[in-house]
């Protein structure tokens, strides 16, 4: 099992609030097992509110109230000893953050500090984790690194608002990759970008992953992005993973009805065939349906789906799917 970099086991977490005497529990991640390999581009897909961002927070070891972990673990395997992120102290987590696990945020104005020049942001984010370098050495390193991302060093002396959306996103990618971390978590990194810039940015992220030979965990709702960059993908629905497998297998032979629907309804240039859609809406996670969480919308649901929760199992198609009906 030495080729794994991160593993979650039976991860279960909820947002728990006690407001005005009303207890509310939103079960947002429910029994997630992930094994993410070294040197892999791993994609997580799902609709808004399916728990994908919460899952990312847990993977990064961020767990503050009202989010509470009820069961399961997240283990980071990039160090000599496996490290359980929920048992680690704040100081230990601080050490691995940015150095070993870093984060590319959704490209927008609010990621970078609007009143600090770009280089100051580099100092704020990354320098505390690179104390072995002198200030001058650090700057040299940043300039070289940005050169690799095809950004000139003049960028360092500008404010975020002076840059275009694509350049800003390159800067945040630069920030996240400066320390060559083993894992980079990217949350909707290209969602706010135009199509032309999106393609360039994805090309850049893909190239960096090849150069660093590290792991990128990419979260986006856009399956067209996953089709073009991810090696493996996990499809999330209402807090659970319903299907996981190699990207080509998932796209060619989806086993779960939800995945099948998502892939069949993707619009594509040159395709005028009528696309269907699912009735209903994703469930309220404060009160999820019993059994398979997808059954109220599933066109194939049988009685068993309404009571029993399906497990993620290997299917004939070569993917892992949580569905009783898939063979």
Partner 1 sequence: MSETIELLSVQNAKKSFRLGGILSNKEIIAVNEVSFSLFADKPDILSIIGESGSGKSTLSRLILRLLLPDSGSIKLEGTDVHAMKGRKQELDYMRRVQPIFQNPFETFNPLNRVDEFLMATATNYFPGEKPAQAKERVEKALQAVGLSLAEVGERYPHELSGGQLQRASVARAIIPNPKILVADEPVSMVDASLRMSIVNLFQELKNTMGTSIIYITHDLATAYYISDRIAIIHKGYFVEQGDTEAILSKPKHPYTKLLVESTLDPRPGATSLADGEVSTGDEEYLAVGCKFAARCPRAMDICRKVQPAETIVGNWKVRCHLYGENNAS
The pattern of x and - marking residues 141 through 160 that bind partner 1 according to CB under 8 A reads ---------xx---------
Nearer to partner 1, 79 or 266 (CB): 266
190 or 215: whose CB is closer to partner 1? 190
Question: Is 164 an interacting residue with respect to partner 1 (CB under 8 A)?
Answer: yes
CB nearer partner 1, residue 60 or residue 250 = 250
Q: Is 274 in the site for partner 1 (CB under 8 A)?
A: yes
Say how many residues touch partner 1, by CB under 8 A.
Answer: 53
Residue number with CB closer to partner 1 (29 or 250): 250
Backbone angles phi, psi at 118, to 5 degrees: -55, -40
Nearest one of 37, 34, 29, 35 to 12, comparing CA atoms: 29
Euclidean distance between CA atoms 47 and 51, whole angstroms: 9
Minimal distance, residue 222 CB to partner 1, in Å = 8
Say how far residue 208 (Cα) sits from the centre of its chain. 17
CA–CA dist 256, 327 (Å, integer): 10
According to the binding rule CB under 8 A, does residue 78 interact with partner 1?
no
Tally of CB atoms within 10 A around 7: 18
Among 10, 137, 228, 290, binds partner 1 (CB under 8 A): 228
Distance from C-alpha of 245 to C-alpha of 83, rounded to nearest angstrom: 26
Interface residue with partner 1 among 198, 209, 215, 260 (CB under 8 A) is: 198
133 binds partner 1 (CB under 8 A): no
Q: Can you tell me which of 25, 92, 123, 200 binds partner 1, judged by CB under 8 A? A: 200
Shortest distance, position 294 Cβ to partner 1, whole Å: 10
Binding region for partner 1 (CB under 8 A) out of 138-146, 179-187, 193-201, 314-322:
193-201
Residues of this chain that bind partner 1 (CB under 8 A): 47-48, 150-151, 164-167, 170, 194-200, 202-204, 206-207, 221-225, 227-229, 247-248, 251-252, 258, 261-263, 265-272, 274-278, 280-282
């Amino acid at each position: 099992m030495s080729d794994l970099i991160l593993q979650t086991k039976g991860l279960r977490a909820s947002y728990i609030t006690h407001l005005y005497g009303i207890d509310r529990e939103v079960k947002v991640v429910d029994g997630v097992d992930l094994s993410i390999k070294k040197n892999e581009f791993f994609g997580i897909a799902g609709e808004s509110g399916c728990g994908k961002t919460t899952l990312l927070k847990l993977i990064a070891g961020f767990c503050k109230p009202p989010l509470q972990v009820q069961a399961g673990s997240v283990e980071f395997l990039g160090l000599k000893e496996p490290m359980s992120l929920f048992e680690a102290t704040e100081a230990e987590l601080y050490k691995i953050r940015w150095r070993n696990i870093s984060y590319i945020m959704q490209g927008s104005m609010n990621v970078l500090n609007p009143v600090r020049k770009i280089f100051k942001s580099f100092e704020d984010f990354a320098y505390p984790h690179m104390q072995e370098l002198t200030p001058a050495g650090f700057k040299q390193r940043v300039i070289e690194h940005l050169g690799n991302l095809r950004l000139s060093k003049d960028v360092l002396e500008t404010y975020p608002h002076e840059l275009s959306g694509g350049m800003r996103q390159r800067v945040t990618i630069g920030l996240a990759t400066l320390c060559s971390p083993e894992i980079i978590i990217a949350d909707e990194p290209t969602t706010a970008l135009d199509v032309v810039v999106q393609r360039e940015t994805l090309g850049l992220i893909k190239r960096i992953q090849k150069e660093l030979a590290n792991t990128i965990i990419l979260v986006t709702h856009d399956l067209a992005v996953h089709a073009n960059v991810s090696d493996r993908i996990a499809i999330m629905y209402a807090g659970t993973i319903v299907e996981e497998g190699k990207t080509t297998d998932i796209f060619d032979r989806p086993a779960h009805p939800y995945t099948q629907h998502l892939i069949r309804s993707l619009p594509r240039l040159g395709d005028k065939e009528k696309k269907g859609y699912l009735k209903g809406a994703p469930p309220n996670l404060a009160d999820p349906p019993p059994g398979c969480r997808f059954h109220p919308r599933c066109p194939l649901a049988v009685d068993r789906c309404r009571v029993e929760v399906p497990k993620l199992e290997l299917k004939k198609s070569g993917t892992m799917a949580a569905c009783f009906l898939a063979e």
